[in-house]
Structure 1
Amino acid sequence: MSPPPEFAQQIIFLYAADAAACRRFYAEVLRLELVQDQGDVAIFAVAGQRGFLGICPARGARELTDPRREGGALVTLVSDAVEEWHAWLLAQGVQPEAPPTRSPRGITHVFFRDPAGYLLEIQRFDRADWPKPGA
């Protein structure tokens, strides 16, 4: 038996009590393209037509407050323009956790939260061993 083919696309679904506020945030602040509106679920393109982010109504309050614990989630968006994104977020009224920071792992990143409290990161790989888009 042959293994199945590689995955063609990927979607991360986030659940929010105020899904409308999150839809606006991802469309207007992060400027992601809405590729499918399913009524109560919105799916945005993140990286061309291979990466997607879905916003869904939550079934209840979040029980996990620290996304860096087991069961948590962190949404990372990769861009060479981390500093420009930081300035844009500030101009849009989003308060990042700190200015862009260079990590000992060879990345520069900035962390912030969406209206539902999800932790997001915009990250640049300052190392040559990260695959470039389309590679």
Structure 2
Amino acid sequence: MLLLVFLPHNTEDEKKSFCITEQLGFALGAVGLTLRDWQGLTPEEWTAVADSYATSHEMVMHDGWERMRMLATITIQPHVKNRLTPDTLLPLPWDNDQTQTTQAAHVPPVGKDEARERLVSLMKGVKD
């Protein structure tokens, strides 16, 4: 599922299993859903919620870095001869990314059959 991307320190090479209890913890703790709301979501809806949550948090992080970079540029500019730009003073990883895509955009969509198989395997883990 798409949720694999939102776990800390996951790369595309190492996909960690994201069990149902971890998904529940993420939904209630990080996203702020109620238990009833989370239980009423389909896997596709839950994926959309988690994707939207990750995108909004990524945008907040980018905004903070952009503000700090602009402040640093304004502070340093009077003390240097050449004209500075925020991009040249502090290049950030997303500067070269023209489309501003998130990590979630690089994950191929999950089909209904595969989503059902994953849900069944997750439910088996809950019963054990």
Q: Pick the TM interval, shorter chain.
A: under 0.3
More strand by share: 1
Considering only CA atoms, is the larger Rg found in Structure 1 or Structure 2? 2
Between the two structures, name the one with larger relative contact order (CA 8 Å, sep ≥ 6). 2
Q: Which is helix-richer, 1 or 2?
A: 2
